[in-house]
Amino acid sequence: MDTVPAPHDLSPLLHMATLDGTLTVLGFPVETSVRIMDLTLGRKKLTSSGTGGRRETADMLAFCAQHAVTADVEILPSTRLQDALTRLTQGDVRYRFVLDLSDLDEPAS
């Protein structure tokens, strides 16, 4: 599953798919090009779904739980928002940032 919401090359993802494998692009659709040879070699399929409803989302989460599909994220406290933005600008992010907003409930010191 590809959930990247920005233009990017699908070739590396298609190369990871096995024989008769399927790459599914989820989320907001973006412009991209596909090399037909990347699909032909290995009889691969490319599908997409712009959005999913509650049932589809629940089904996907159940599938991920059953097959131990997880996301690689780096969690930062909200107090490090500026660090996160700086690192995004510098391209110093592997996978995704998640801001932990639980510290917003704490009184300021």
Does residue 53 sit in the same domain as residue 97? no
- Determine the residue type at 59: D
Q: With beta carbons less than 8 A apart as the criterion, state whether 100 and 75 touch.
A: yes
pLDDT, tens digit (0-9, with 9 covering 90-100), for 64-73:
999 999 888 8
Domain assignment of residue 16, given as a range: 11-66
1 part of a folded domain: no
Could you give the CA distance from residue 107 to residue 8 in angstroms, rounded to a whole number? 41
Question: For residues 40 and 103, what is the distance between their CA atoms, to the nearest angstrom?
Answer: 50
Tell me which amino acid residue 5 is: P
pLDDT band of 17, cuts 50, 70, 90:
very high
Residue 43 inside a domain? The answer is: yes
- Co-location of 60 and 16 in the same domain: yes
User: How far apart, in whole angstroms, are the C-alpha atoms of residue 71 and residue 81?
Assistant: 21
| Statement to judge: residues 37 and 19 lie in one domain | yes
**50 lies in some domain:** yes
* Same domain as 47, residue 15: yes
How does pLDDT run across 25-65, given as a tens digit for each residue? 887 667 888 899 999 999 999 988 766 667 877 888 899 99
Is the same domain home to 20 and 59? yes
Phi, psi angles (nearest 5°) of residue 35: -80, 120
